[in-house]
A and B are shown apart, each in its own frame.
Chain A
Amino acid sequence: MTLINVERIKLFSTRSPYWCLIAIVVAALGFATLFGLIESGRAAITYLVLRGTSLGMSIFMVLAALSITTEYRFGTIRNTFLAAPRRPTVLLAKTVLIAVLGLVVGTIVALAAFYLAKGLAQSPLVPMELNSGDDWRQVLGYGPLFAIAGIIAVAVGAIVRQSAGAVAILLLWPLLIESLFTLIPTVGEKVGPWLPFAAADKWVAPSSSISDLFQSTNTGPTPIQGLLVFAGWALVLWLVALVLLQRRDA
C-alpha cells in the first residue's frame, strides 16, 4: 500500500501522464462526436462510437509504459530500488496503480463517449440503448480492457526499459503486427483472432448478428474468451518482466 502511494506520487508529479489523459479524452470524445453528428448519427453504433476509446487505450498504454521507461531513462529507477530493494513489490505496486487507473479511466471515458454520441445522434440506425448485458459489456468492457492493456504496457516497458522502443512495440503491435499476421494463409486466419489485441477487441465487440456487419468471419474467441486471452497474455508478459527485473542490474 505504501509503495502504491509512492507510485502515485511519482506518476502524478510529472507532466506526461496528464497529457496522455487529455489525449485519451480527446480521442474518445472526439470520435464519439463525429459519429454522433455525421449523417445525423446514422452510423452511431456502440462498437463504432467507441473506436475512439479503443484508440484511447493505445494512448493509455503509452502512459503506462512511460511510467516505467522514464524511470530508466532518468535513472530514478535506482532511487526507487534504493528506497525499496524488493523489486517484485515495486513492480507489483506500479502495476496495481496503473491497472486501477486504467479501470477508472476506461470506464469513465467509455461511458462519456457513449452518452455523448447518444445525445448527439438524431436518427441512429439502431437506437443506442444500454438494455442487455451485451450492451453494457460493449461500454463498460473498456474498464477491464484499459486495466489489462496497462499491465501489458508496464510489462513491456520493464522488459524493454526504453521509451521509444516500448511505445513503438505497443503501438505497432495492435495496429500492424496483428493485422499483418492475419494475412498469413491458413495459420493467420486461425491464430490471428487469438492474438492479444484482436482477442481484446472481441470483448467489446457486439456478439449478436450485427457483428457480421463488421467481421467477415465470426471465428475466434467469444467475448469472455477474448478477455481471458488478453489477460493471459498480460500475465505471461508481466512474469517475464518480473524475472528480468529481478535478474538484471538496475
Chain B
Amino acid sequence: MADRSDVKQGTLALMVLKTLETMGPLHGYGIARRIEQTSGQLLAINYGTLYPALLKLEQEGDIEADWGLSDNNRKAKYYHLTRSGRKRIERETREWQRTSAILGRFLAPGER
C-alpha cells in the first residue's frame, strides 16, 4: 500500500470520464474501485478528492447523476456521461496523447 500514489492533479477528471465511458452509469464507489483496478492498484483514490471532483464535473455539465439501485439492491447515486462529457473525453484524450508524446521524446534515452 505504501508505494501507491495519489492521483495527479487534473488527471482524475479524465479518469472518471473515461471510466464512465467504458463502464456506463456507475456510482462513486464503483468509479473509485474501477480506477484503482485499471491502474493495477497503483493509484489510491482519496474520497475527499473524488466527491468534490464528481461535483465539479456535474457543475460543469459533463456528467449527470441519478439515484438508483445497485446489483445487491443498495440505494446509490449513479453518474453517467452527458454529450458535453463525451466531447470533453475526445478533446482531453487528444491533448494527453500529444502531451505524453512530447514528454516521451524528452525522456527517451540517447536521442541527443
Decide whether A and B assemble into one complex.
no
**Contact residues of B with A, CB < 8 Å?**
none
